[in-house]
Amino acid sequence: MIIEPVIKGVVARSAHPYGCQQAVRKQIDYVKQAKPIERGAKRVLVLGASSGFGLASRIAHTFGGAEADTVGVSFERGPSDQGVGSAGWYNNIFFKQEAEKAGRVATNIVGDAFSQQVRQQVIESVKSDLGGKVDLVVYSLATGVRPNPETGDMWRSVIKTTGKPVVGPTLNLETDSLAEMTVETATDDEVADTVKVMGGEDWASWVQCLSDAGVLAHGCRTVAYSYIGPEVTYPIYHQGTLGRAKEHMHTTAEEINTQLVAIGGQAHVAVCKALVTKASVFIPAFTPYILALFKVMKEKGTHEGCIEQMQRLFNARFYSPKETEQGVLTDEQRLIRMDDWELASDVQQQVSEIMAEMTAENFTQLGDYKGYKQDFMELNGFGFEGVDYQQDITLESLKALQS
Protein backbone atom coordinates (compact mmCIF):
# COMPACT_ATOMS: atom_id res chain seq x y z
CA MET A 1 0.00 0.00 0.00
CA ILE A 2 0.93 3.63 -0.44
CA ILE A 3 0.45 5.55 2.80
CA GLU A 4 -1.22 8.92 2.33
CA PRO A 5 -2.03 11.59 4.89
CA VAL A 6 -5.63 11.48 6.13
CA ILE A 7 -6.76 14.41 8.29
CA LYS A 8 -10.12 14.70 10.05
CA GLY A 9 -10.58 18.09 11.69
CA VAL A 10 -7.39 18.40 13.71
CA VAL A 11 -6.70 14.67 13.98
CA ALA A 12 -4.40 12.71 11.69
CA ARG A 13 -5.88 9.33 10.85
CA SER A 14 -2.73 7.99 9.23
CA ALA A 15 0.99 8.15 9.83
CA HIS A 16 3.97 7.41 7.61
CA PRO A 17 6.38 5.00 9.34
CA TYR A 18 9.47 6.08 7.38
CA GLY A 19 8.57 9.72 7.76
CA CYS A 20 8.45 9.14 11.52
CA GLN A 21 11.89 7.56 11.23
CA GLN A 22 13.05 10.72 9.47
CA ALA A 23 11.48 12.89 12.20
CA VAL A 24 13.39 10.99 14.88
CA ARG A 25 16.65 11.16 12.90
CA LYS A 26 16.26 14.90 12.35
CA GLN A 27 15.91 15.45 16.09
CA ILE A 28 18.91 13.24 16.79
CA ASP A 29 20.98 15.17 14.24
CA TYR A 30 19.95 18.44 15.84
CA VAL A 31 21.02 17.52 19.38
CA LYS A 32 24.29 15.99 18.20
CA GLN A 33 25.44 19.36 16.88
CA ALA A 34 23.82 21.48 19.62
CA LYS A 35 25.46 22.64 22.84
CA PRO A 36 25.77 19.38 24.80
CA ILE A 37 24.05 18.48 28.06
CA GLU A 38 26.72 18.27 30.75
CA ARG A 39 26.29 16.14 33.86
CA GLY A 40 22.91 14.91 32.64
CA ALA A 41 21.06 11.93 34.07
CA LYS A 42 22.25 8.55 32.78
CA ARG A 43 19.17 6.45 33.63
CA VAL A 44 15.98 8.13 32.56
CA LEU A 45 12.30 7.18 32.70
CA VAL A 46 10.07 9.13 30.31
CA LEU A 47 6.31 8.95 30.80
CA GLY A 48 4.80 10.10 27.49
CA ALA A 49 7.92 9.24 25.49
CA SER A 50 6.54 8.75 22.01
CA SER A 51 5.92 12.30 20.82
CA GLY A 52 6.16 16.00 21.58
CA PHE A 53 8.19 17.13 24.58
CA GLY A 54 8.57 13.62 26.00
CA LEU A 55 10.18 12.21 22.86
CA ALA A 56 12.38 15.30 22.59
CA SER A 57 13.47 14.87 26.25
CA ARG A 58 14.40 11.27 25.53
CA ILE A 59 16.34 12.13 22.39
CA ALA A 60 18.14 14.99 24.15
CA HIS A 61 19.23 12.68 26.98
CA THR A 62 20.41 9.86 24.75
CA PHE A 63 22.04 11.79 21.92
CA GLY A 64 22.50 15.36 23.22
CA GLY A 65 25.41 14.78 25.59
CA ALA A 66 24.16 12.75 28.56
CA GLU A 67 24.38 9.33 26.82
CA ALA A 68 21.43 8.11 28.85
CA ASP A 69 19.75 4.75 28.85
CA THR A 70 15.97 5.15 28.84
CA VAL A 71 12.67 3.47 29.53
CA GLY A 72 9.82 5.16 27.66
CA VAL A 73 6.11 4.74 28.35
CA SER A 74 3.44 5.67 25.83
CA PHE A 75 -0.04 4.80 24.62
CA GLU A 76 0.16 4.03 20.92
CA ARG A 77 -1.34 1.79 18.27
CA GLY A 78 0.66 -0.69 16.21
CA PRO A 79 -0.11 -1.89 12.69
CA SER A 80 -3.23 -4.03 12.34
CA ASP A 81 -5.98 -4.71 9.86
CA GLN A 82 -7.50 -1.41 11.08
CA GLY A 83 -4.55 0.63 9.86
CA VAL A 84 -0.80 1.26 9.85
CA GLY A 85 -0.80 2.44 13.47
CA SER A 86 0.05 5.73 15.13
CA ALA A 87 3.05 7.99 14.60
CA GLY A 88 4.20 7.50 18.18
CA TRP A 89 4.37 3.74 17.63
CA TYR A 90 6.96 4.28 14.90
CA ASN A 91 8.77 7.03 16.79
CA ASN A 92 9.31 4.48 19.58
CA ILE A 93 10.61 1.83 17.21
CA PHE A 94 13.01 4.07 15.32
CA PHE A 95 14.25 5.82 18.44
CA LYS A 96 15.07 2.43 19.94
CA GLN A 97 16.89 1.34 16.74
CA GLU A 98 19.04 4.46 16.73
CA ALA A 99 19.72 4.29 20.47
CA GLU A 100 20.80 0.66 20.27
CA LYS A 101 23.07 1.45 17.32
CA ALA A 102 24.73 4.00 19.59
CA GLY A 103 25.16 1.37 22.30
CA ARG A 104 22.40 2.68 24.54
CA VAL A 105 19.54 0.87 26.20
CA ALA A 106 16.06 1.94 25.10
CA THR A 107 13.02 0.04 26.34
CA ASN A 108 9.54 0.89 25.10
CA ILE A 109 6.54 0.11 27.24
CA VAL A 110 3.25 0.67 25.46
CA GLY A 111 0.19 0.74 27.69
CA ASP A 112 -1.92 2.92 29.95
CA ALA A 113 0.43 4.91 32.22
CA PHE A 114 -2.41 5.36 34.71
CA SER A 115 -2.67 1.62 35.31
CA GLN A 116 -1.06 -0.46 38.06
CA GLN A 117 0.04 -2.96 35.46
CA VAL A 118 2.20 -0.44 33.59
CA ARG A 119 3.65 0.82 36.89
CA GLN A 120 4.69 -2.76 37.65
CA GLN A 121 6.14 -3.25 34.16
CA VAL A 122 8.17 -0.05 34.50
CA ILE A 123 9.58 -1.07 37.89
CA GLU A 124 10.62 -4.45 36.47
CA SER A 125 12.15 -2.76 33.45
CA VAL A 126 14.12 -0.29 35.59
CA LYS A 127 15.47 -3.27 37.52
CA SER A 128 16.38 -5.35 34.49
CA ASP A 129 17.28 -2.68 31.89
CA LEU A 130 18.56 0.30 33.89
CA GLY A 131 20.46 -1.52 36.60
CA GLY A 132 17.80 -0.97 39.24
CA LYS A 133 17.58 2.83 39.62
CA VAL A 134 16.53 5.95 37.74
CA ASP A 135 18.18 9.38 38.04
CA LEU A 136 15.43 11.31 36.25
CA VAL A 137 11.68 10.87 35.76
CA VAL A 138 10.21 12.99 32.96
CA TYR A 139 6.43 13.34 33.21
CA SER A 140 5.10 14.34 29.77
CA LEU A 141 1.71 12.71 29.42
CA ALA A 142 -0.97 14.57 27.51
CA THR A 143 -4.37 12.93 27.36
CA GLY A 144 -8.07 13.63 27.52
CA VAL A 145 -9.03 10.74 29.78
CA ARG A 146 -7.90 9.00 32.95
CA PRO A 147 -9.56 5.92 34.43
CA ASN A 148 -10.99 6.35 37.93
CA PRO A 149 -9.75 3.17 39.63
CA GLU A 150 -12.47 3.31 42.29
CA THR A 151 -15.47 3.42 39.95
CA GLY A 152 -14.06 2.06 36.70
CA ASP A 153 -15.40 5.20 34.96
CA MET A 154 -13.29 7.72 33.12
CA TRP A 155 -12.43 11.24 34.20
CA ARG A 156 -12.57 13.37 31.06
CA SER A 157 -10.75 16.65 30.65
CA VAL A 158 -12.48 19.50 28.86
CA ILE A 159 -10.96 22.58 27.29
CA LYS A 160 -13.12 25.42 28.59
CA THR A 161 -12.74 28.77 30.28
CA THR A 162 -13.51 29.48 33.92
CA GLY A 163 -14.71 33.03 33.24
CA LYS A 164 -17.18 34.35 30.66
CA PRO A 165 -17.50 32.35 27.40
CA VAL A 166 -14.87 33.30 24.82
CA VAL A 167 -15.53 33.49 21.10
CA GLY A 168 -12.47 32.96 18.96
CA PRO A 169 -11.37 31.59 15.61
CA THR A 170 -10.40 27.93 15.63
CA LEU A 171 -8.43 26.09 13.00
CA ASN A 172 -9.60 23.19 10.91
CA LEU A 173 -6.55 21.47 9.41
CA GLU A 174 -8.67 19.32 7.12
CA THR A 175 -10.17 22.27 5.29
CA ASP A 176 -7.39 24.83 5.99
CA SER A 177 -9.94 27.23 7.42
CA LEU A 178 -10.60 29.27 10.54
CA ALA A 179 -14.10 29.25 12.00
CA GLU A 180 -15.54 31.08 15.00
CA MET A 181 -15.96 28.83 17.96
CA THR A 182 -17.23 29.54 21.44
CA VAL A 183 -15.22 28.33 24.37
CA GLU A 184 -17.85 27.75 27.05
CA THR A 185 -17.59 28.22 30.78
CA ALA A 186 -16.69 25.05 32.63
CA THR A 187 -18.75 23.74 35.52
CA ASP A 188 -16.98 23.03 38.82
CA ASP A 189 -17.12 19.32 38.04
CA GLU A 190 -15.52 19.87 34.65
CA VAL A 191 -12.71 21.84 36.26
CA ALA A 192 -12.22 19.10 38.86
CA ASP A 193 -12.19 16.36 36.23
CA THR A 194 -9.66 18.21 34.05
CA VAL A 195 -7.43 18.64 37.11
CA LYS A 196 -7.72 14.87 37.70
CA VAL A 197 -6.61 14.14 34.14
CA MET A 198 -3.98 16.80 33.50
CA GLY A 199 -3.02 17.99 37.01
CA GLY A 200 -0.24 16.68 39.23
CA GLU A 201 -1.96 13.79 41.02
CA ASP A 202 -0.79 11.04 38.71
CA TRP A 203 2.74 12.51 38.60
CA ALA A 204 2.94 12.38 42.42
CA SER A 205 1.52 8.89 42.43
CA TRP A 206 4.20 7.72 39.97
CA VAL A 207 6.99 9.18 42.10
CA GLN A 208 5.49 7.57 45.22
CA CYS A 209 5.18 4.22 43.53
CA LEU A 210 8.78 4.31 42.22
CA SER A 211 9.98 5.41 45.65
CA ASP A 212 8.09 2.56 47.36
CA ALA A 213 9.69 0.12 44.91
CA GLY A 214 13.13 1.48 45.83
CA VAL A 215 14.06 2.37 42.25
CA LEU A 216 14.77 6.10 42.71
CA ALA A 217 18.52 6.72 42.77
CA HIS A 218 20.05 9.02 45.38
CA GLY A 219 19.69 12.54 43.94
CA CYS A 220 16.85 11.47 41.65
CA ARG A 221 15.04 14.34 39.99
CA THR A 222 11.74 14.74 38.20
CA VAL A 223 10.32 17.27 35.76
CA ALA A 224 6.88 17.89 34.26
CA TYR A 225 5.87 20.33 31.52
CA SER A 226 3.52 23.24 31.75
CA TYR A 227 2.22 26.19 29.79
CA ILE A 228 1.21 29.66 30.95
CA GLY A 229 1.34 31.94 27.91
CA PRO A 230 0.73 35.67 27.56
CA GLU A 231 -2.28 37.56 28.92
CA VAL A 232 -4.08 37.59 25.55
CA THR A 233 -4.52 33.82 25.86
CA TYR A 234 -5.36 33.72 29.60
CA PRO A 235 -9.16 33.36 29.07
CA ILE A 236 -8.66 30.19 27.02
CA TYR A 237 -5.62 28.70 28.71
CA HIS A 238 -4.20 30.04 31.96
CA GLN A 239 -7.64 30.93 33.34
CA GLY A 240 -9.25 27.95 31.70
CA THR A 241 -9.56 24.33 32.75
CA LEU A 242 -6.09 23.45 31.44
CA GLY A 243 -4.54 26.33 33.35
CA ARG A 244 -6.21 25.10 36.52
CA ALA A 245 -4.75 21.65 35.92
CA LYS A 246 -1.32 23.20 35.40
CA GLU A 247 -1.67 25.20 38.60
CA HIS A 248 -2.32 21.92 40.39
CA MET A 249 0.77 20.48 38.75
CA HIS A 250 2.84 23.46 40.00
CA THR A 251 1.63 22.89 43.57
CA THR A 252 2.30 19.18 43.24
CA ALA A 253 5.90 19.92 42.19
CA GLU A 254 6.43 21.55 45.60
CA GLU A 255 5.03 18.50 47.39
CA ILE A 256 7.16 16.07 45.39
CA ASN A 257 10.18 18.30 45.89
CA THR A 258 9.71 18.18 49.66
CA GLN A 259 9.36 14.43 49.52
CA LEU A 260 12.52 13.99 47.43
CA VAL A 261 14.68 15.97 49.87
CA ALA A 262 15.08 12.71 51.83
CA ILE A 263 17.03 11.19 48.92
CA GLY A 264 18.76 14.41 47.87
CA GLY A 265 16.39 14.79 44.92
CA GLN A 266 14.34 17.61 43.44
CA ALA A 267 11.13 18.16 41.45
CA HIS A 268 10.60 20.92 38.91
CA VAL A 269 8.09 22.18 36.40
CA ALA A 270 9.40 23.56 33.11
CA VAL A 271 7.06 26.09 31.53
CA CYS A 272 7.41 25.58 27.79
CA LYS A 273 6.67 27.45 24.60
CA ALA A 274 3.45 27.03 22.63
CA LEU A 275 4.06 24.45 19.92
CA VAL A 276 2.23 22.28 17.45
CA THR A 277 1.83 18.81 18.95
CA LYS A 278 -0.78 16.09 18.75
CA ALA A 279 -2.25 17.53 21.97
CA SER A 280 -2.07 21.30 21.39
CA VAL A 281 -4.00 21.39 18.11
CA PHE A 282 -7.14 20.65 20.14
CA ILE A 283 -7.11 23.93 22.03
CA PRO A 284 -9.91 26.08 20.56
CA ALA A 285 -9.33 29.75 19.79
CA PHE A 286 -5.60 29.27 20.34
CA THR A 287 -4.47 28.99 16.71
CA PRO A 288 -4.42 32.70 15.80
CA TYR A 289 -1.99 33.20 18.65
CA ILE A 290 0.32 30.35 17.56
CA LEU A 291 0.19 31.48 13.91
CA ALA A 292 1.22 35.01 14.86
CA LEU A 293 3.80 33.77 17.36
CA PHE A 294 5.53 31.48 14.87
CA LYS A 295 5.64 34.29 12.32
CA VAL A 296 7.27 36.72 14.74
CA MET A 297 9.67 34.28 16.40
CA LYS A 298 10.85 32.92 13.05
CA GLU A 299 11.52 36.46 11.82
CA LYS A 300 13.50 37.19 14.98
CA GLY A 301 15.37 33.88 14.78
CA THR A 302 14.15 32.81 18.23
CA HIS A 303 11.66 30.16 17.12
CA GLU A 304 12.14 26.71 18.65
CA GLY A 305 10.48 23.34 18.18
CA CYS A 306 10.15 20.62 20.84
CA ILE A 307 13.70 19.40 20.37
CA GLU A 308 15.29 22.86 20.57
CA GLN A 309 13.25 23.60 23.72
CA MET A 310 14.27 20.36 25.41
CA GLN A 311 17.95 20.52 24.47
CA ARG A 312 18.10 24.09 25.84
CA LEU A 313 16.21 23.06 28.97
CA PHE A 314 18.72 20.34 29.74
CA ASN A 315 21.92 22.01 28.57
CA ALA A 316 21.33 25.45 30.06
CA ARG A 317 18.75 25.32 32.87
CA PHE A 318 18.16 21.92 34.41
CA TYR A 319 21.66 20.62 35.02
CA SER A 320 24.04 23.17 36.38
CA PRO A 321 26.44 23.93 33.57
CA LYS A 322 30.08 23.63 34.56
CA GLU A 323 30.87 27.24 33.79
CA THR A 324 28.20 28.72 36.05
CA GLU A 325 27.64 26.28 38.93
CA GLN A 326 24.34 28.08 39.57
CA GLY A 327 22.12 25.05 39.97
CA VAL A 328 18.69 24.98 38.36
CA LEU A 329 17.72 28.31 36.85
CA THR A 330 14.15 29.18 37.88
CA ASP A 331 11.89 32.15 38.58
CA GLU A 332 10.66 33.11 42.10
CA GLN A 333 7.99 30.40 41.90
CA ARG A 334 10.71 27.80 41.20
CA LEU A 335 9.42 27.37 37.64
CA ILE A 336 11.93 26.85 34.83
CA ARG A 337 10.90 29.43 32.24
CA MET A 338 11.52 27.94 28.79
CA ASP A 339 8.82 30.34 27.58
CA ASP A 340 11.20 33.29 28.10
CA TRP A 341 11.72 33.91 24.38
CA GLU A 342 7.99 33.52 23.66
CA LEU A 343 7.03 36.02 26.35
CA ALA A 344 9.69 38.63 25.44
CA SER A 345 7.86 41.98 25.29
CA ASP A 346 8.93 42.84 21.73
CA VAL A 347 7.66 39.45 20.54
CA GLN A 348 4.32 39.84 22.33
CA GLN A 349 3.92 43.41 21.07
CA GLN A 350 4.22 42.28 17.45
CA VAL A 351 2.06 39.20 18.05
CA SER A 352 -0.74 41.41 19.40
CA GLU A 353 -0.52 43.69 16.37
CA ILE A 354 -0.81 40.72 13.99
CA MET A 355 -3.66 39.13 15.95
CA ALA A 356 -5.64 42.38 15.86
CA GLU A 357 -5.56 42.24 12.06
CA MET A 358 -6.07 38.51 11.61
CA THR A 359 -9.25 37.22 9.97
CA ALA A 360 -10.51 33.99 8.45
CA GLU A 361 -9.59 35.47 5.07
CA ASN A 362 -6.01 36.58 5.73
CA PHE A 363 -4.67 34.20 8.40
CA THR A 364 -2.58 32.21 5.95
CA GLN A 365 -0.69 35.38 4.99
CA LEU A 366 -0.55 37.24 8.31
CA GLY A 367 0.33 34.18 10.34
CA ASP A 368 2.75 31.34 9.70
CA TYR A 369 0.10 28.89 8.52
CA LYS A 370 2.54 27.18 6.18
CA GLY A 371 4.89 26.46 9.09
CA TYR A 372 2.03 25.35 11.33
CA LYS A 373 0.68 22.91 8.75
CA GLN A 374 4.18 21.65 7.97
CA ASP A 375 4.75 20.92 11.68
CA PHE A 376 1.42 19.12 11.89
CA MET A 377 2.20 16.99 8.84
CA GLU A 378 5.67 16.20 10.18
CA LEU A 379 4.18 15.01 13.49
CA ASN A 380 2.64 12.22 11.45
CA GLY A 381 5.63 11.55 9.26
CA PHE A 382 4.52 13.50 6.20
CA GLY A 383 6.18 16.30 4.26
CA PHE A 384 9.81 15.27 4.77
CA GLU A 385 12.41 15.52 2.06
CA GLY A 386 14.27 12.30 1.50
CA VAL A 387 11.29 10.05 2.22
CA ASP A 388 9.84 8.09 -0.68
CA TYR A 389 6.12 8.62 -0.20
CA GLN A 390 5.32 6.53 -3.29
CA GLN A 391 6.92 3.49 -1.70
CA ASP A 392 4.72 0.41 -1.59
CA ILE A 393 4.67 -0.72 2.05
CA THR A 394 3.19 -3.99 3.27
CA LEU A 395 1.44 -4.39 6.62
CA GLU A 396 3.57 -7.50 7.18
CA SER A 397 6.79 -5.49 6.92
CA LEU A 398 5.44 -3.01 9.48
CA LYS A 399 4.33 -5.78 11.83
CA ALA A 400 7.83 -7.24 11.59
CA LEU A 401 9.46 -4.06 12.97
CA GLN A 402 10.63 -4.68 16.52
CA SER A 403 9.05 -2.50 19.18
In 3D space, the residue among 144, 391, 177, 123 whose CA is nearest the CA of residue 291 turns out to be 177
Furthest C-alpha separation in the chain: 58
> Is 246 one of the annotated binding-site residues?
yes
Residue 52 CB, nearest distance to Na ion (Å)?
4
Nearest to 379 by CA among 173, 168, 225, 163: 173
With contacts defined by CB under 5 A, name the span among 47-55, 77-85, 180-188, 311-319 that binds Na ion.
47-55
Return the number of other C-beta atoms located less than 10 Å from residue 180's C-beta.
10
Residue 155 binding: pick among ligand NAD, Na ion, none (C-beta 5-8 Å cut-off by kind): none
Residue in 17, 36, 40, 48 binding Na ion, rule: CB under 5 A: 48
CB of 325 to ligand NAD, least distance (A): 28
The answer to the question of residue 199 lying near Na ion (CB under 5 A) is no
Decide if residue 169 touches Na ion (CB under 5 A): no
Query: CA nearest 15: which of 380, 374, 403, 281?
Result: 380
> Is 88 an interacting residue with respect to ligand NAD (CB under 6 A)?
yes
Nearest in space to 274 (alpha carbons), one of 28, 50, 53, 49 = 53
Annotated catalytic, 237?
yes
Q: Looking only at residues 257 through 286 of this chain, which bind ligand NAD when binding is defined by CB under 6 A? A: 272, 274-275, 277-280
Collapsed DSSP state (helix, strand, coil) of residue 83: strand
Pick out residues in 95-154 that bind Na ion (CB under 5 A).
140
Q: What backbone phi and psi angles, to 5 degrees, belong to 62? A: -85, -40
Residue 306 Cβ, how far from ligand NAD at the closest point, in Å?
7
Q: Collapsing DSSP states into helix, strand and coil, what is residue 329?
A: coil
| Burial of 269 (C-beta count, 10 Å sphere; 0-12/13-18/19+) | buried
Instruction: State the catalytic residue, choosing from 139, 225, 237, 289.
Output: 237
Considering only residues 60 to 79 of the shown chain, the ones binding ligand NAD according to CB under 6 A are 73-76
State the catalytic residues. Answer: 237
In the complex, which residues of this chain contact ligand NAD (CB under 6 A)?
A: 48-54, 73-76, 88, 112-114, 140-143, 225-227, 272, 274-275, 277-280
Interface contacts to Na ion, rule CB under 5 A: 48, 52-54, 140
